[in-house]
Structure 1
């Protein structure tokens, strides 16, 4: 026997499907506190929970056509919030690992004649100053762990171009970081 889900907000949802902003705001008011608490429990951070909440509501309203009403709207929305929160946590972990990686890899950019310690912020700033091609190859190789063959396939360049871009990027990054330390 199939259980039917009765959606107590069917009229509001129907209006939301027609892009009625007042109905969207009503739905938001009905669900925002519960969804925020869900996001906060998963992310553990108020700012991240607010970002997740915002993203989840935007996504829900944009994808309302895919809501089949086989579950309550609240349950459907909660799945979106949970997925967005888990993605946020994964992103935060990846950013933390990237920062740790950058700090560990910063030693590659130290001039041989001296032993300065570069901060993650200095390396990040220097990375942002690289031309986009250099930055892309360097990031894919050093931080994402791709080899030059994979990079060549991803970017549609030759393997030798990937290698030369990497070397040039590394040299340019050393130069930028060294200048920052010496003149910054």
Structure 2
């Protein structure tokens, strides 16, 4: 027997399945900002992120009858958004290079700081992430911000798991390098 996950927006999803345009609009209002943020972190272009968002919602509403509540609507929608983002990046011909395991290096984690300085550092990291090469930024965003593991990233990007790990480690190293240049880390 399949598990069915009931989330707090279950009734809206049911109404959508019955064709309610009002329910479509309510779900859009509930999720659009978060999904736009997700799309923007991946494609790093507001216009493209907005396009991805619209396409993802169109996809979701067209396929809403296939949604089986095995997870939350938000997670299901996020998966659609991420896949749409990856397709958008493929249109840009994003290139990820396969790397051998021997080339992976351990990197030191950043030191902890007080809340005010921590917020400053978070803002600086967000800005520095925009300077990363696209492949690095995408893997780093999917792993750190979207919560995907390397196996899932590999499946989404059509790369092997080790390539995802390597891209992540290189992205982390490059990010630290950028932050050091800005005087953010020691």
TM-score normalized with structure 2 length: 0.48
More helix by share: 1
Task: Tell me which structure has the larger Cα radius of gyration.
Answer: 1
Q: Which has the higher contact order (CA 8 A, sep 6+)?
A: 2
